[in-house]
Amino acid sequence: MQYRTGRHAIKNSDFDLDYRNGVQGENLVNTLLTGGKTVEVKTDFKWINTGNLYIETECWYVSANSWQPSGLSVTKAEYWAFVLAESVLIVPTKLLRLAVEIEGHPISCQIPPNQSRGYLIKPELLLQTNRKNPQS
């Protein structure tokens, strides 16, 4: 692709690549927003004060009197979206699993009747894991 500045034509070799990458990003967002991908949406109201996201992996089932897999352990969603105030962080589920494995801090939530176990992770650590493992 070329464009002109005054009398000289300048070839912008990065434009084509940048354009294709931009279109790929736009297509992903379009697919996410129009139902082409499954997305599990979590709204974390404590994040604003703690800086952490809570990722549930087990919950207590009173009827079974035992801990059962839940949340990230059983999700079939391809992506997880975290609503953080007026922003949304969307990550592939496989990346979230990897980030929790590497960076997550185990925690129990003992608030009846919805006791659960999971992990705390900072949003920036999700992004850091993505940078280190871009094909996750």
Statement: residue 3 has pLDDT above 50: no
Is residue 98 within 8 Å of residue 133, measured between CB atoms?
A: yes
pLDDT in tens, 67-123: 999 999 999 999 999 999 888 999 999 999 999 999 999 999 888 778 999 999 999
pLDDT at 134 over 90: no
pLDDT at 16: 60
Average pLDDT across the chain, whole number: 85
